[in-house]
């Protein structure tokens, strides 16, 4: 039985695909450049989530 081809992850861009830079620190994110809205790297996303959780 042949091995099935590896299915690409839903949120994983191609290795050589251009990715958007984080709006906070300028580091490359996991998102493609055409992703709409606020684009943050995993670190800034986490920090933003903490900030949101603490607000109010
Ligand atoms: Zn960042």
**Residues composing the chain:** 56
Distance from the alpha carbon of residue 48 to the mean position of ligand 1, in angstroms: 10
Tell me, yes or no, whether 8 lies in a domain.
Answer: no
Tell me, yes or no, whether 10 lies in a domain.
Answer: no
**Full-model pTM:** 0.60
- pLDDT beyond 90 at 50: yes
Distance from the alpha carbon of residue 56 to the mean position of ligand 1, in angstroms: 23
Distance from the alpha carbon of residue 1 to the mean position of ligand 1, in angstroms: 45
- For the chain, how big is the Rg over CA atoms in Å? 15
Q: pLDDT tens digits, residue range 21-43?
A: 999 999 999 999 999 999 999 99
Q: pLDDT tens digits, residue range 10-22?
A: 666 566 779 999 9
Distance from the alpha carbon of residue 27 to the mean position of ligand 1, in angstroms: 6
The total domain count for the chain is: 1
SS3 assignment, position 21: strand
Tell me, yes or no, whether 7 lies in a domain.
Answer: no
Q: Domain limits at 49?
A: 20-54
Tell me, yes or no, whether 31 lies in a domain.
Answer: yes
Tell me, yes or no, whether 3 lies in a domain.
Answer: no
Which of 44, 50, 49 is closest to 22 using CA atoms? 44
């Amino acid at each position: 039985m042949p091995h099935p081809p590896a299915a690409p992850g839903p949120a994983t861009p191609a290795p050589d695909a251009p990715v958007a830079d984080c709006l906070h620190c300028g580091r490359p994110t996991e998102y493609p450049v055409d992703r709409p809205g606020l684009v943050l790297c995993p670190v800034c996303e986490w920090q933003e989530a903490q900030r949101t959780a603490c607000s109010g």
